[in-house]
Amino acid sequence: MKKLLILLILFSNIAAGQVYKTTEPLAHTFSIVARDPSTGEMAAAVQSHWFSVGTSVIWGRSGVGVVATQSFVNKSYGPLGLELMEQGKTPEEAVTELLKKDEGRDVRQVAFLNTSGQTAVHTGSKCIDFANDRHGANYSVQSNMMLTDKVCAAMENAFSLNDKLPLAERVLACLIAAQKAGGDIRGKQSAAMIVVSGALVKESWNDKLVDLRVDDNVDPIGELGRLLKLQRAYEHMNNGDLQVENGNMPKAMEEYTAAEKMFPQNLEMQYWHAITLANNKRVKEAAAMLKKVYAKDVNWRELTRRLPKVGQLTVSEQELKLLLQ
C-alpha cells in the first residue's frame, strides 16, 4: 500500500509538471482586452501580485488584435493567438485551436480580441477562485484568484461608464474598479498596459501607441496611471515641436504649456521649451526660464553650452552668454 501511494504521488507530480512549467509564471490576476470603435485602437491591461506581469500576460499587434493569457500562464497563447488572428481566424476559432493542443487548458485563462471588436474568452475549470469572466462587443474582462466574485462585474461596469475617455484611460479606470472590488487576494505588485492601432503599422518599432509597465510597486495601478499621464504630457511636447516645424509658434507654446501644467516639476519640459523660444528669437523669455531651471540643477547650464556645436541652439555668442547667466 505504501509503495502504491509513493507511485501515485510520483505520477501526479509528473502529470503536474506537464502543465505547471518553471518557465510559465503563475500570473493569477485580473485583466481587460478592449477596443475603441471610434478610433479602432485596441488595448490590453493587467494587474497582479506577481513580478513583471506585463512581460507575460498581455500581447498585441496593430491591425490584428490583443491577447491576455493568465492564471498558470502559457505565454505561447500571445504570439500564436496573434498569428492565427492575422491569418483570418476569429478570436473564438483561434482560442479553440490553441486550447485543443494544450493539456493545461483547465488551468488557463485567456482572452482574445480582434480589429472588429470580436472577443473570445476561456476560464479553465481549475483556475483558482474567485475566477470568472465577462465579455461582449469590444471588450472582455477576466480574473482569477480574486478576493471577491465582484471583480469582473466592476470592470465591465467601469468600461461602460467611461466610454468618453481615450481607450488607455478607459482601461485604466477598469483596473482601478477591479482593485476597489477586492482585486488579487494576495495584494498588489505589478501592472501593465499596451495600446495598438486598429490599422496595420508596417514599422514594427512603431507598433505600440502605449507600452507601459510597472514591474514592482506598492501601488502598481497608481504608478501606471502616473506613467500614462506622463506619456500624455510628452505627447504635448512632441506636438509642440511639430507646431514649431510648421511655423505655428502660438500653438507650440500652447502645447508646451499644457505639458508643463501636467508635470510642473519636470525640468526637461521647461528646458526644451526655453530652447525652442531661444531658437525662435525670443531669447529674453528663454533666459528667464533657463535661469529657473539652472537654479534647480546646474547641469542644464552645461548642456546649453554644448548645444550650439551640434546645431540644436542657433543663437549669437552674445545671446548665448545671456542664456548661460
Rounded Cα gap, residues 169 and 303, in angstroms: 35
Q: How many CB atoms are closer than 10 A to CB 260?
A: 18
Q: In the predicted model, is pLDDT for residue 13 greater than 50?
A: no
Residue 273, pLDDT above cutoff 70: yes
Cα three-residue angle 204-207-210, rounded to 5 degrees: 145
182: exposed, middle or buried (Cβ count in 10 Å: 0-12, 13-18, 19+): middle
Q: How confident is the model over 118-163, as pLDDT tens digits?
A: 999 999 999 999 999 999 999 999 999 999 999 999 999 999 999 9
Question: What is the biggest distance separating any 2 CA atoms in the chain, rounded to whole angstroms?
Answer: 95
Sorting pLDDT into bands at 50, 70 and 90, what band is 287?
Answer: very high
| Cα pseudo-dihedral 257, 260, 261, 264, rounded to 10 | -150
Each residue's pLDDT tens digit, 64-120? 999 999 999 999 999 999 999 999 999 999 999 999 999 999 999 999 999 999 999
Give mean pLDDT, residues 267-290. 95
| Region 196-210 average pLDDT | 96
How far is it, in rounded angstroms, from Cα 211 to Cα 166?
15
> What pTM did the predictor assign?
0.89
The per-residue pLDDT for range 21-47, each reduced to its tens digit, is 655 666 689 999 999 999 999 999 999
pLDDT tens figures, 225-243: 999 999 999 999 999 999 9
Q: Which amino acid is at 192?
A: A
- Among residues 80, 95, 76, 73, the alpha carbon closest in space to that of 25 is found at 73
One-letter amino acid at 93 equals E
Domains, the chain, ordered by start: 26-218 (3.60.20.10), 233-323 (1.25.40.10)
Question: What are the φ and ψ backbone dihedral angles of 93, each rounded to 5 degrees?
Answer: -65, -40
Measured distance CA(297)–CA(292) in Å, rounded: 9
Alpha helices, H only, 20-76: none
CA distance 219 to 317: 49
Task: Return d(Cα 275, Cα 307) in angstroms, integer.
Answer: 9
**33, 43 in Cβ contact below 8 A?**
yes
Measured over the CA atoms of residue 170, residue 172, residue 176 and residue 182, the dihedral's sign is: positive
Q: Assess whether pLDDT exceeds 50 at residue 17.
A: no
Q: Which residues lie below 8 Å from residue 271, measured CB to CB, with a gap of 6+?
A: 290, 293, 300, 303
